[in-house]
Structure 1
């Protein structure tokens, strides 16, 4: 691996871009000093207005499973060109086709039939899931894991771990309880025999439901209505809850009358290996929320599956939910075109195993080359994390954009895990692009070392 200086190696970390006067400044776009404006894309690459190429190892925030495939829009148009728009709250054959195909993907994994409701983004899908759960068991407390992220809306910001999401807008009437969870490596009381979480962790997530715990369970008029979990915590730094702990939390919630909701917005559609992330641990949820990989980033759409009879009309009455754009033919056409591509992928799970192995090999090289900066790595499915020795991920992410004079690299970091670089490229990425990703990361880590030395 070679080391090359980048044009922003000496730029102050606090430098911020000039934001156009007509543009709202709160968007995540403007959290860095280097803001490319993209004009075209293909495969795993983007091109900015100045002609610079970027390799997207973040897959448009996890949405672009098939990369930047412009033929998806062409196929979508063929599905909806005779119905370019649809009056609100009207049915269509296109919508029924998409709902039928989506339901099959969920019920095949859970082993029980269900119904699918559509919504716009992931946060809206999570709110719809809560509507369905509350319709079935009544409004009550919601239990989540520490480190969780379920959206930034008024309701979902209450479920998400970071207090930053509740600073400006929150549904304060919603009672939320957070359970401790660890992914083995960070467990404060591990089981040496298992090499991860032990009996104490199981006890910690199953002790609620009594007067002493302060959280009502079976026998209390106000108990827990829903337990919501992510099989892999993307914003939490690609941490995977210990499988035994997750199973215990699910079993305890169900025994206490709570509806179990799997947030598969990021992890669904083979992002972490199997079709749904919850299959990694062998748990079976009552409700599943999916979004990102259903439309490859080309339309806003989320899907909420609920086992029978949770979303049946006797329980979840017509009119309990509505949204002007959830039946829009364009989004449904995109979903149908993307589902066609998933159907044509003969063994996506095996392909994800190969991708994880390929990323593991390359991340191990980076750790060996930069032992003072990289203390760990892990890849599973089309997702990986590079664990740093300090809270350097935000700076490293920015350096990746400019370290190589010929190629920018887009990776992710989050405020909840400032020591972790999240890597989740298009699932169809090839070996040459993985090599290029590794080269830019190597150069960026070298620049990071020099920057830290000067401090």
Structure 2
């Protein structure tokens, strides 16, 4: 039995707002190896959530040992100081995007994804001046004061938000919830037209012919928090092309989707779009450090546009975090078969999850998989309950999966990309048991 702190479930010294305490019983994990975590009671959990997709390489203590051996002589630096290690990491990160887009760029570093999104907006504002930001209904870009304004759920704006920021939302790309076309029918010509109406006299949103313009268009290639929704590719290309014609800086939020989580290196490659700014984080550190990357196409990040001193943070230059990124990038470079291996993972997850779902047709509507992710679409708003049963229903082991308040009928699955066939078999068994209990 997992330990609890009395009937309040939240220890008296712990902040109660954290997602950790959304359930009465909270496992306390003490170790991890491969794709498995172990709690303080000895129960093992197959991690199919992977720190929200961060732990692509699983739990590997050797990775951290190797990283820290690279920075023993420089454990910390003032934030205004340069190092060879930082320059090396910046150069490697720049090539990750520039090679994919065939265009040179510059890289800024930040802490979490929300901070990186704010940095991306600063770069856009430096180019276009402060203005409207266009996002997509169903989006999630963080919980900070600024990024909570970009995220769709009003819950993120209830306590603290940058209310002076004008944000306009394009119609949802989720065909399951779209009122304009049959479910699963795909985006129509009308849908593509709807995302290209802004910038006109009637739209209420300024464009290139108006004094107050749209500063940036921000999109996710796959809406993770929105329920693992992939926008129709033609729809997304239409939205990006229109934004660029109107002079907006196009920002790709690849915090979750970057580094092969949904197949290719970058999620935007699935739709064939070319952003001006790319933000990513999770796939760079395997959870070993807080560091994110903002790549901007030349000349957006050049010193005459984005002046030195426009951005700074105490921790983005510390050698320990940079060494973690440097070590993880070595792992990525050595994985020469990553595209084929992630494709095999997609097929393996789809096969197993579909087989289990077919035995419970009254509970599961459909199963989808893309790259190293999958989603289980339920017949009702039971995602939170099923997440709990994934952890508790099976007598020998649990599994960790993801759910969000923005999609209460969807369970998200995104394990470490190195998960093997035997572990996927165990996951399918736990899934089956959880559905039996739910039924």
TM-score by length of 2: 0.97
Of 344, 347, 351, the match for 1:361: 351
Trace 1:149-168 onto structure 2 (pairs within 5 A): 149-168=140-159
Aligned equivalent of 2:29, options 33, 38, 48 = 38
1:396 corresponds to which residue? 386
Partner of 2:19: 28
8 Å contact 1:17–1:35 — kept in the other structure?
A: no
Residues 1:104 and 2:89 aligned together? no
- The Cα shift of 1:195 comes to 3.9
Q: Is the 8 A contact 1:129 1:304 kept in 2?
A: yes
Aligned partners of 1:191 and 1:199 also within 8 Å:
no
1:197 aligns with 2:187: yes
TM-superposed CA distance for 1:184, in Å, is 3.6
**Which residue is 2:296 aligned to?**
306
Instruction: Note the alpha carbon deviations across 1:423-442, whole angstroms, 9 max, x for none.
Output: 00000000111111111111
1:320 to 290, 310, 318: 310
Change (3 A) 1:350 1:17: farther
1:214 to 204, 209, 214: 204
Distance 1:325 1:400 in 2: 37
CA displacement at 1:182 relative to structure 2: 2.1
- Counterparts of 2:281 and 2:373, CA distance in 1: 17
3-state DSSP class of the match of 1:190?
coil
The aligned residue for residue 274 of structure 1 is 264
Select the residue among 89, 106, 116 that pairs with 1:115.
106
Q: Which residue of 1 aligns with 2:47?
A: 56
Instruction: Find the aligned partners of 1:185 and 1:394 in 2 and give their Cα distance.
Output: 20
Give the whole-Å Cα distance in 1 for the aligned partners of 2:214 and 2:415.
Answer: 37
Q: How far did residue 189 of structure 1 move?
A: 2.9
Secondary structure at the aligned position of 1:73 is classed as helix
Distance 1:430 1:188 in 2: 40
Matches within 5 A, 1:31-430: 31-190=22-181, 195-430=185-420
**C-alpha distance in 1, partners of 2:285/2:407?**
28
Q: Is the contact between residue 38 and residue 47 of structure 1 (CA under 8 Å) also seen in structure 2?
A: yes
The change in CA–CA distance for 1:215 and 1:278 in structure 2 (over 3 A counts) is same
Deviation at 1:16, TM superposition (A): 7.6
Deviations 1:183-226 (A, max 9, x none): 4444333389x941110101110001012110011110001010
- Equivalent-residue separation in structure 2 for 1:154 and 1:188 (angstroms): 31
- For 2:423 and 2:17, the matched residues in 1 are separated by 32
Aligned pairs, number? 436
Distance 1:430 1:33 in 2: 32
State the Cα distance separating 1:408 from its structure 2 match. Answer: 1.0
Q: Kindly indicate whether the alpha-carbon contact (under 8 Å) linking 2:9 and 2:25 is maintained by their aligned counterparts in 1.
A: no
Superposed displacement of residue 272, structure 1? 0.2
Question: Per-residue CA shift, 1:391-421, capped at 9, x if unaligned?
Answer: 0000100111111121011001000000000
Q: Which runs of 5+ in 1 are unaligned?
A: 1-6, 9-14, 450-455
Over aligned residues, Cα RMSD in angstroms?
A: 1.5
Q: Secondary structure at the match of 1:363?
A: helix
- Structure-2 change in CA distance of 1:437 and 1:200 (3 Å): same
